[in-house]
Amino acid sequence: MRAAADRDRCAISGIGATEFSSDSGRSALSLAVEAALAAIADAGLAPADVDGIVRCDLDAVAHNDLAQALGLPDLTYWGTSGPGGAAPGGMIGQAVGAIRSGQANAVLAFRALNGRSGARFGRAGSGSGAGSGGGRRVGGGGKYDEFFAPYGLVAPGHLFSLLARRHMIEFGTSEEHLGHIALACRARANANPAAQMRDRPLTMEDYLAARMISSPLRLFDYCLETDGACAVVVTSRERAEDGPQPPALIRAVAQSAGPEPQVGFLYPTLMRKSLTTQTSKALAGTLYRRAGLGPGDVDVAQFYDCFTITVLLQLEDYGFCPKGEGGPFAASGAIDKGGSLPINTSGGHLSEGYLHGLNHVVEGVRQIRGTSTSQVPGAEVCLVTSGLPVTTSGLILRRP
Amino acid sequence: MRAAADRDRCAISGIGATEFSSDSGRSALSLAVEAALAAIADAGLAPADVDGIVRCDLDAVAHNDLAQALGLPDLTYWGTSGPGGAAPGGMIGQAVGAIRSGQANAVLAFRALNGRSGARFGRAGSGSGAGSGGGRRVGGGGKYDEFFAPYGLVAPGHLFSLLARRHMIEFGTSEEHLGHIALACRARANANPAAQMRDRPLTMEDYLAARMISSPLRLFDYCLETDGACAVVVTSRERAEDGPQPPALIRAVAQSAGPEPQVGFLYPTLMRKSLTTQTSKALAGTLYRRAGLGPGDVDVAQFYDCFTITVLLQLEDYGFCPKGEGGPFAASGAIDKGGSLPINTSGGHLSEGYLHGLNHVVEGVRQIRGTSTSQVPGAEVCLVTSGLPVTTSGLILRRP
């Protein structure tokens, strides 16, 4: 028997972000501090009110670095979630758990990185063949190298391209279908002055003319490389209601490793029974059950979009369209502004910036507050997903 | 205003441990699985009942490794705590938070390492000058090397020796005082068939005759190097009461970075205003407040003992004796079997094995159950501390 999960007992009461750029010229700690101070002020709090910090396992900024820089007098909760892009939902989950068990009152969740000017994600590791560069290994720390590296599968893009190709083979998905996802995100970025791609329109012709990187994935199927930071403050609902901003209630939060638990590595993606149904399917079940809601209740979604194909898979796995129909659904206009399920309304990782899932949480809060630059009128329920389909977490935010 | 923390709402319902040795001949994953299966069976559960896993940030075993090996069908919560030895209290805290917010029903906390035959702790890093070997850096990832390495401070023992020396200078603490702590732990190990030092008695003469490693710390002031694993299962109190074992109620759990937040690194220990009062002082305040208990209520304690000096500091910081009197208190017999505060009743890290704090949690549960090989008659409240004094976590276990 499962325990009943919390609903609407905690909220995100503050959000903050730095500029997203390709060359911050600053340390990740400096970026984290700026985003954290913005989020704390936005929540109507002072740094001294923060007694918890949760972080992503790949963040270069340790809890103590941030606590010291912010001058926190009494840090009594900290935790780490991951792996990598799967962190945000797990981080929010830890914050909710800490608050609900009386271990913290106000928990800061942050992600800071110089993803372009510093250690760059998404490149083959030097000598590890395991995934991203800069000493980070998204492929499993080299554990599976012998099965994949001989075939040239040494970077995330290589692996996700196989998912995309498989979807094309099984369901007739086209390159243009993926292109529609890239275009939808880019159009939202063009409306968002904070997006890295704010001034760069994208047409289907541009998309199809862009260079192929790992067939069938082209340049614009890949997310950006970004320097920047995001932060949010999680408190009890009651504290959030005392703050200056409308609370974004955390209706439900969940993590899932799926029925074949392979948390956190890209390579096992390819070992699953199906390449085209990922852990997002299992997560959707948990998240909807905990929330007492279904896909029909979701007004807007921020899907983790390290590549276009992950969005397409999630459209299916979260039940917004039948299996195999993610491509036509994306091409139908449903995911665009004014559609039935507008997605990635800040521009997402594909076109706003790659803050490893946490900018999706920030944008989700904006939708609940009604302050997005691509606001969905009357949005009350926002789905936010974190991480690759291979291992994943997510949350549902709700207007009070 | 602080939220009221949970009391007695969750419990440790199962414990497990492998053999502690100096050469397991097995992988850390194999050790973790053995300990986990033992803990799950001890809790009266099947692997399929486990839906959460929390781990130490230095563990070589990832969540997915363990979930796969155990065949968990639906892992819906995972998290990481640390740094290093500060993990156990944080891990239990995460488990409590996950359970109390409905994110998990049964959470497995584990620690597995080949601490002797594999990557050895406590050695200077190769080229990093930052602390422990094997690619692990307890000194702060090299961040502070320039301030310490030129003075030869490249391993944990070097740093803790300065704390010990400072305590001697300020308070007249003697080498024999530290020796009493080593002897107390060794005597408990001699009664514990599972302890690495079960067959090795230790006299004060032996202690003082042992080689000096980092003055004033000698061989027996250092903890052991251990191959092995421990695991515990955390559930709601109600579920634990349905199990075959008497529940060890989690009266309170806490983490603290202290008033000068420097989570997780050894080097900043030396930057604090006082070398002889550490974050354990701040943690004690939080833990006792949450528990509604004080040092006078504690029947038995399992103190994190990477070195003898950390026990001495904690005796003071947790309020069992006045500041500066840890040495005479240790020499008084208070910490021995039959004393007013028996400590480290399995032998501790100094003489049972170094499972990075988690074997202290397991032994704490044994005391609550009444099954320790150095059982404190009628023990109802057990204090368990995790981590160095520099950054720390802890819990108070209670008999129902």
Cβ–Cβ gap A99/B236 under 8 Å? no
Residue A21 DSSP code = B
Q: Per the structure block, which two tokens stand in for B341?
A: 């505060």
CB-based contact (8 Å) between A254 and chain B? Answer: yes
CB contact under 8 A, A5 and B257: no
* Beta carbons of A387 and A87 less than 8 angstroms apart: yes
Question: How far does the CA of residue B224 sit from the closest CA of chain A (Å)?
Answer: 27
Tokens (6 digits) for B25 = 């001949």
Place of tokens 């003319």: A209
Residues 6+ apart with CB under 8 A from A341: A298, A300, A301, A315, A320, A334, A335
**SS3 state at B260:** coil
Chain B residue nearest residue A268, CA to CA? B64
**Neighbour tally for B313: CB within 10 Å:** 26
Residue type present at position B87: A
Closest Cβ opposite residue A261 in set B4, B5, B67:
B67
Kindly determine whether residue A264 and residue B73, on different chains, have CB atoms separated by under 8 Å: no
pLDDT of residue A315: 97
For chain B, say whether A9 makes contact (Cβ under 8 Å): yes
Q: Do B5 and A290 touch (CB under 8 A)?
A: no
Q: How far is B171 from chain A (nearest CA, A)?
A: 28
Q: Which residue of B has its CA nearest to A265?
A: B64
Q: Which residue has the tokens 């499993």?
A: A140
Could you give the CA distance from residue B156 to residue B133 in angstroms, rounded to a whole number? 11
E-state strands within chain A: 10-17, 52-56, 77-81, 106-114, 212-214, 217-218, 227-236, 248-256, 300-302, 381-386, 392-398
Q: Judge whether B175 and B164 are in contact, CB under 8 Å.
A: no
Token digits for B315?
Answer: 């005796």
Angle between helices B87-100 and B358-369 (to 10 degrees): 60
- Residue A263 and residue B77: Cβ atoms within 8 Å? no
Residue B19 in domain: yes
What is the spatial distance between Cα A165 and Cα A91, in angstroms, rounded to a whole number?
32
A100 touches chain B (CB under 8 A): yes
CA dihedral in degrees (A117, A119, A125, A131; nearest 10)?
A: -100
Q: Classify residue A63: in a domain, yes or no.
A: yes
In a domain, A170, yes or no: no
Query: Which whole-number Å values give the CA distances from A102 to A3, B81, B96, in the listed order?
Result: 19, 18, 10
Q: Which amino acid is at B5?
A: A
| Residue tagged active-site, from B207, B288, B304, B318 | B304
Q: Answer whether B105 touches A (CB < 8 Å).
A: yes
Per DSSP (E only), the strands in B83-197 are 106-114
Cβ atoms of residues B265 and B390 within 8 Å? yes
Task: Decide if A85 is inside a domain.
Answer: yes
B97, B77 contact by CB (below 8 A): no
Q: CB-CB: which of A103, A257, A265 is closest to B5?
A: A103
Residue from B6, B57, B77, B96 to probe the interface with A (highest A Cβ count within 10 Å): B77
Task: State the CB neighbour count (10 A cutoff) for residue A381.
Answer: 20
Nearest CA in chain B to A235: B3
Residue A226 to chain B, least CA–CA distance (Å): 24
Number of domains observed in the structure of chain B: 1
Active site (annotated) includes residue B207: no
Interchain pair B2, A82: CB under 8 A: no
Residue A134's pLDDT is what? Answer: 32
* CATH label of the domain that carries residue A342: 3.40.47.10
Q: Which residues of chain A are within 8 Å of residue B74 when distances are taken between CB atoms?
A: 256-257, 259, 282
Contact B262 A77 (CB under 8 A): no
Beta-carbon separation of A79 and B68 below 8 A? no
Contacts of A81 in chain B (CB under 8 A): 78-80
- CB B57 to CB A78 under 8 A? no
CA distances from B115 to B23, B141, B224, B352, B367 (A): 9, 19, 9, 13, 26
Structure tokens belonging to residue A198: 């704010």
Residue A289 lies in a domain: yes
Measured in Å, how far apart are chain A's first and last C-alpha atoms?
A: 29
Domain assignment present for residue B378? The answer is yes
Chain B contact for A387 (CB, 8 A cutoff) = no
Cis peptide before A83 (omega within 30 of 0): yes
DSSP, residue by residue, A164-175: HHHHHHHH---H
A103 touches chain B (CB under 8 A): yes
To the nearest whole Å, the CA of B263 is away from the closest chain A CA by 5
What is the per-residue pLDDT for A23?
A: 96
Give the per-residue pLDDT at B134.
32
Interface membership of B239 toward A (CB under 8 Å):
no
Kindly report the backbone phi and psi dihedral angles of residue A12, in degrees, each rounded to the nearest multiple of 5, phi listed first.
-95, 120
Chain B hits for A260, Cβ within 8 Å: 68
Domain annotation covers residue B204 = no
From A77, A144, A222, A304, active-site residue = A304
Contacts of A390 (CB under 8 A, 6+ apart): A262, A264, A265, A266, A268, A269, A278, A279
Whether B391 has its CB under 8 Å from any CB of chain A: the answer is yes
Single-letter code of the amino acid located at A240: A
For B1, name the nearest residue in chain A, comparing CA atoms only. Answer: A105
Return the closest-CA partner of residue A172 out of A327, A278, A329.
Answer: A327
3-state percent helix, strand, coil for chain B, nearest multiple of 5: 35, 20, 45
CA distance B337 to A66: 43
Give Cβ neighbours of residue A250 (< 8 Å, ≥ 6 apart).
Answer: A6, A8, A9, A10, A11, A12, A92, A96, A234, A395, A396, A397, A398
Residue with tokens 């005759």: B209
CB contacts, 8 Å: B268 with chain A:
64
Query: Which residues are A396's β-sheet partners?
Result: A252, A383
Structure token digits, residue A209:
């003319």
Q: Mind listing the pLDDT tens digit of every residue in chain B (400 residues)?
A: 456 789 999 999 999 999 999 999 999 999 999 999 999 999 999 999 999 999 999 999 988 889 989 999 889 999 999 988 999 999 999 999 999 999 999 999 999 999 999 887 766 653 322 333 333 344 445 566 777 788 888 888 888 999 999 999 999 999 999 999 999 999 999 999 999 999 999 999 999 999 999 999 999 999 999 999 999 999 999 999 999 999 999 999 999 887 776 655 566 677 777 888 888 999 999 999 999 999 999 999 999 999 999 999 999 999 999 999 999 999 999 999 999 999 999 999 999 999 999 999 999 999 999 999 999 999 999 999 998 766 889 999 999 9
Which pLDDT score, from 0 to 100, does residue B154 have?
82
How distant is the Cα of A141 from the closest Cα of chain B, in angstroms? 10
Q: Which residues on A lie below 8 Å from B76 (Cβ)?
A: 254-257, 286
Q: Is A304 a catalytic residue?
A: yes
B41's CB contacts (< 8 A; 6+ apart) are: B14, B16
Give the sign of the dihedral formed by CA A77, CA A231, CA A235, CA B260.
positive
Q: Which residues contact A119 (CB under 8 A, 6 or more apart)?
A: A60, A113, A132, A133, A134, A135, A136
Give the residue from chain B lying closest to A259, CA to CA.
B73
- Which residue in A68, A77, A264 is closest to B255 by CB distance? A77
Quote the tokens at residue B40.
């799950």
Dist. CA B28–CA B36, nearest whole Å: 12
Among B4, B260, B263, whose Cβ lies nearest the Cβ of A102? B4
b/e map of B371-399 (b: 16 or more CB within 10 Å)?
ebbbbbeebebbbbbbbbbbbbbbbbbbb
pLDDT in tens, chain A (400 residues): 456 788 999 999 999 999 999 999 999 999 999 999 999 999 999 999 999 999 999 999 988 889 989 999 889 999 999 988 999 999 999 999 999 999 999 999 999 999 999 887 766 653 332 333 333 344 445 566 777 788 888 888 888 999 999 999 999 999 999 999 999 999 999 999 999 999 999 999 999 999 999 999 999 999 999 999 999 999 999 999 999 999 999 999 999 887 776 655 566 677 777 888 888 999 999 999 999 999 999 999 999 999 999 999 999 999 999 999 999 999 999 999 999 999 999 999 999 999 999 999 999 999 999 999 999 999 999 999 998 766 889 999 999 9
Q: Fill in the amino acid letter for A205.
A: E
Let me know if residue A382 belongs to a domain.
yes
Which tens digit of pLDDT belongs to each residue from B267-323? 667 777 788 888 899 999 999 999 999 999 999 999 999 999 999 999 999 999 999
Cβ-nearest to A78 among B102, B103, B255: B255
Report how far residue A348's alpha carbon sits from residue A182's, in angstroms, rounded to the nearest whole number.
10
Q: What is the pLDDT of residue A360?
A: 98
Contact A3 B102 (CB under 8 A): yes
CA A311 to CA A330: how far, in whole Å?
A: 9
Interchain contact, B82 vs A77, CB within 8 Å: no
CB A308 within 8 A of CB A390: no
The alpha carbon of residue B254 is apart from the nearest alpha carbon of chain A, in Å, by 7
- Give the A window 284-303 contacts with B, CB below 8 Å: 286, 290
Domain that holds residue A251: 2-117+224-398
pLDDT of res. B155: 84
The set of residues, in sequence order, having a beta carbon less than 8 Å from that of A41 and lying 6+ positions away, is A14, A16
Q: Do B278 and B44 meet the contact criterion of CB atoms below 8 Å apart?
A: no
Question: So what's the pLDDT on residue A350?
Answer: 98
Residues B157 and B173: their CA atoms lie apart, in Å, by 18
Distance (Å, whole) CA B38 – CA A397: 39
Nearest beta carbon to residue A101 from set B97, B263, B265:
B97
**What is the rounded CA–CA span in Å between residue A61 and residue A78?**
13
Q: Does A377 touch chain B (CB under 8 A)?
A: no
CA–CA gap between residue B78 and residue B61 (Å, rounded): 13
CB-CB under 8 Å, A256 with B78? no
- Name the helix (H) or strand (E) containing A360: helix A358-369
**Structure tokens belonging to residue A73:** 């007098």
Task: Say yes or no for a CB contact (<8 Å) between B6 and A259.
Answer: no
What pLDDT score does B389 carry?
Answer: 63
Preferred mutation among A2, A10, A75, A393 to probe B, highest tally of B CBs within 10 A? A75
The reply to whether residue A257 touches residue B93, judged by beta carbons under 8 angstroms, is no
Closest chain B CA to residue A72: B261
Rg of chain B taking only CA atoms, in angstroms? 19
Stretch 33-92 of chain B: residues touching chain A, C-beta under 8 Å: 57, 62-64, 67-68, 72-83, 90
Rounded CA-CA distance A376/A299 in Å is 8
Candidate from A79, A81, A261 with C-beta closest to B90 = A79
Which neighbouring-strand residues pair with A235?
Answer: A11, A106
